Amino acid sequence: MEHRFYDLNVAFYNEHLLERAEYLGLSGICIVARSTDNIDEYLEKIKKIREGTNIDVVTGVLIEEKPNKIFGLAKSLRRKVELILVSGGDYETNRMACSSEYVDILCHPEKGRKDPGIDHICCREAREHNTIIELNFRELISAIGMERIKELNKMKEIVRLCNKTKARFIVNSGAKNIFELRGGRELSSLSFCSGASLQDALIANSEIPEKLISINREKLKQPVKGVEYER
């Protein structure tokens, strides 16, 4: 079976991005907005980008706020964008993101830390609240020498915890320029090398994001949670 690979954290946009993503074999990308201001402008921009491309372009916002503001922001953005990502690193932020139903992806929970940033409690919460834990490929690319070893070690620990608690994980490129974008198989190879089985590694970057996006799109169509109408 052919896998449809997704990259749900691309932090830039230029005219060659979609062409390159298609060439690398990606079926969909999420061009992430980094600020919560001008959301309408961002949505208009994505609407224009979607025209004339075969790639599934997903809207998403990366929240980089203090833990006490995450919940409110995520709740207000839930009915506007398809994906809500939270920039991790701080334990309180990670815990908050994992235990919130409004958050879809917790990005790089290990950033700037000596430990993986999540524990078994976070993982269990993430599983219960359908939050996906992200491994960021860019964190690995930008690290050199001993830093890269530590980064790999932390990723290995995250994958181990996710396997143990059956929480879901994903590998995103987090690309800030076109040369940092990677294909689906390359992204999957990171989770495989971090200890996941090949099947899990492939599903993490294909079926899981596909399902997540379709569920969120269905939710966006509903005027109130759980209510659908026919035209």
Is there binding between residue 183 and another protein (CB under 8 A)? yes
Region from 43-51, 137-145, 158-166, 218-226 binding another protein, contact rule CB under 8 A:
137-145
Is there binding between residue 190 and another protein (CB under 8 A)? yes
CA distance 141 to 151: 10
Residues 6+ apart with CB under 8 A from 214: none
Structure tokens at 219: 């939710």
Is there binding between residue 9 and another protein (CB under 8 A)? no
User: Which 144-173 positions form the footprint of another protein (CB under 8 A)?
Assistant: 148
Based on CB atoms, which residue is closest to another protein, 97 or 190? 190
> Roughly what angle, to the nearest 10 degrees, separates helices 146-165 and 184-193?
80
Q: How far is the CB of 202 from another protein (least distance, A)?
A: 10
Rg (CA), the chain: 17
> Roughly what angle, to the nearest 10 degrees, separates helices 146-165 and 120-128?
50
Applying CB under 8 A, among 17, 18, 21, 24 the residue interacting with another protein is 24
Applying CB under 8 A, the residues found at the interface with another protein are: 20, 23-25, 137, 140-141, 148, 177-183, 185-186, 188-190, 192-193, 198, 201
